[in-house]
Amino acid sequence: MKGNHQPLLRRRDGKHARVTNEELFFDLVYAFAITQLSHLLLHRLDWLGAVDTLILWFAMWLGWQYVCWITNWFDPETPKVRGMLFAVMPLTLVIAAALPEAFGERGLIFALAYAAMQVGCAGWSLWDLRGGHPLRMNYLRIFCWMVIAACFWIAGGLAEPMARRALWLGGVACIYISPMIGFWLPGLGRSRTEEWTIDGAHLAERCQCFVIVALGESVLATGGGFAEGKDWSPVLVAALVVNFITTLTLWWLYFGTSSRAANAKIEHAADPGAIGAQFHYVHALLVGGIVAAAVGHDLVIEAPLEHAEWRDLLALGAGPGLYLLGSTLYKRVVYGHWPLSHLIAMAVLVLALPLGHEQPRLAVEAALAVVLLGAALREYVVRREKHEKPAHQ
Cα separations in angstroms, 328 against 201, 253, 257, 261, 340: 21, 10, 12, 15, 9
Reported as a single tens digit per residue, the pLDDT across 13-33 is 556 667 889 999 999 899 899
Confidence of residue 258 (pLDDT cuts 50, 70, 90): low
Higher local confidence (pLDDT), 86 or 193? 86
What's the pLDDT at 3?
A: 46
| Least confident stretch, 140-149, 315-324, 326-335 | 326-335
Reported as a single tens digit per residue, the pLDDT across 326-371 is 999 988 888 888 989 999 999 999 999 999 998 999 999 999 999 9
Alpha-carbon distance 389 to 261, whole Å?
8
Residue 316 pLDDT > 80, yes or no? yes
Q: What is the average per-residue pLDDT within 93-98?
A: 96
User: Residue 328: CB partners within 8 Å, gap ≥ 6?
Assistant: 338, 339, 342, 343, 346
Q: What is the average per-residue pLDDT within 66-87?
A: 90
Confidence of residue 393 (pLDDT cuts 50, 70, 90): very low
Alpha-carbon distance 366 to 316, whole Å?
11
Q: Which long-range contacts (CB under 8 A, 24 or more apart) does 226-231 make?
A: 226/301, 229/301
3-state secondary structure of 178: helix
What's the pLDDT at 169?
A: 96
* pLDDT > 70 fraction of the chain, expressed in percent and rounded: 89
- Residue 72's Cβ-count burial label (10 Å; 0-12, 13-18, 19+) is buried
Domains of the chain in sequence order:
17-191 (no CATH), 200-385 (1.20.1410)
Alpha-carbon distance 365 to 361, whole Å?
6
Neighbours of 183 (CB within 10 A): 22
Neighbours of 325 (CB within 10 A): 18
pTM: 0.88
Confidence of residue 197 (pLDDT cuts 50, 70, 90): low
Alpha-carbon distance 137 to 370, whole Å?
50
What's the pLDDT at 202?
A: 80
Reported as a single tens digit per residue, the pLDDT across 46-64 is 999 999 999 999 999 999 9
Q: What is the average per-residue pLDDT within 294-305?
A: 92
Question: Which 8-state DSSP code applies to residue 231?
Answer: S
